[in-house]
């Protein structure tokens, strides 16, 4: 087994230091991991050749994107190959063009978009909110991930319902839990939380406790008042 040295480790774009299990502050951490300190790395761009079928995806996108009103350099911020998976970091303004290219280009033919998930990186200034999409090609038996980063101060991402209609409820869920706004969605309302709920529960700055919940007429006390791990 070869020795892993600092020079052989991948270069990182951003490193976030997270305390506790969820990184939340200002409320009781009832997970029991309040003293945990984790380093969360974000990998740097990968360089060609990518290996596997990843080079073919990049080449097809480079050739086909102009037909859909974009270009590879305009649409793609970086490509990351990690854990034998390909992630395309796409600029929000070009997301629809990239999705149409992935779906319609014969050499790509990603027929399935398995929805969208949100991620909140509070320490990535100007890129705090991420929307992550998983695509699958049945024709070519391939998969690719697309990630879009936007500022918390302007959390707007184009809706992909015009390309993949099944993203309807996924976009509503991501809006509900993270506050990402999907422009062009015909009915972007909460899907889990009540309509008058304040805040978005899966953000890192959302309190872990301290919110009383009514359940069938009874009030359940907040978690941080019911049990202490100190």
pLDDT value of residue 105: 97
pLDDT of residue 6: 43
CA–CA distance, 48 with 152 (Å, rounded to integer): 32
Q: What is the 3-state secondary structure (H, E, C) of 75-106?
A: HEEEEEEECCEEEEEECHHHHHHHHHHHHHCC
CB atoms within 10 A of CB 73: 9
Nearest by Cα to 123 from 45, 25, 44, 6: 25
CATH number of this structure's domain 45-200? 3.30.460.80
pLDDT at 14: 60
pLDDT in the model for residue 9: 45
Per-residue pLDDT of the chain (230 residues; tens, 9 = 90+): 444 444 444 455 566 777 777 666 665 666 677 788 888 777 789 999 999 999 999 999 999 999 999 999 999 999 999 999 999 999 999 999 999 999 999 999 999 999 999 999 888 889 999 999 999 999 999 999 999 999 999 999 999 999 999 999 999 999 999 999 999 999 999 999 888 888 999 998 887 766 777 767 777 777 666 655 54
DSSP state of 216: T
Q: What is the largest CA-CA distance in the chain?
A: 62
Cα 33 to Cα 17, 20, 121, 206, 208, distances in angstroms: 15, 5, 19, 17, 13
pLDDT on residue 106? 96
State the pLDDT at residue 168.
97
| Domains of the chain by residue range | 8-43, 45-200
Those residues whose C-beta lies under 8 Å from the C-beta of residue 180, and which sit 6 or more positions away, are 118, 129, 131, 150, 155, 156, 157, 174
Q: Tell me the backbone φ, ψ of residue 94, rounded to 5 degrees.
A: -105, 5
What's the confidence (pLDDT) of residue 35?
81
Please tell me the pTM assigned to this model. 0.82
Output the six-digit token pair for 26: 């200002």
């Amino acid at each position: 087994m070869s020795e892993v040295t600092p020079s052989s480790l991948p270069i990182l774009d951003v490193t976030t230091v997270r305390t506790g299990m969820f990184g939340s502050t200002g409320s009781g951490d009832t997970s029991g991991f309040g003293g945990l300190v984790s380093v969360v790395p974000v990998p740097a761009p990968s360089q060609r050749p990518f290996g596997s079928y990843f080079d073919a995806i990049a080449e097809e996108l480079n050739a086909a994107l102009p037909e859909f009103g974009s270009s590879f350099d305009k649409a793609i911020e970086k490509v990351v190959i990690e854990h034998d998976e390909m992630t395309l970091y796409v600029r929000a303004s070009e997301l629809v063009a990239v999705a149409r290219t992935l779906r319609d280009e014969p050499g790509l033919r990603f027929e399935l978009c398995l929805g969208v998930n949100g991620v909140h990186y509070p320490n990535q200034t100007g890129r705090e909110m991420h929307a992550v999409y998983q695509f699958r090609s049945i024709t070519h038996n391939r998969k690719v991930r697309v990630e879009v980063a936007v500022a918390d101060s302007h959390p707007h991402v184009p809706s992909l319902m015009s390309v993949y209609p099944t993203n309807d409820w996924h976009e509503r869920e991501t809006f509900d839990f993270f506050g990402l706004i999907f422009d062009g969605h015909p009915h972007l309302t909460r899907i889990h939380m009540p309509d008058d709920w304040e805040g978005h529960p899966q953000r890192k700055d959302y309190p872990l406790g301290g919110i009383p919940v009514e359940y069938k007429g009874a009030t359940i006390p907040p978690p941080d008042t019911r049990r202490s791990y100190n």
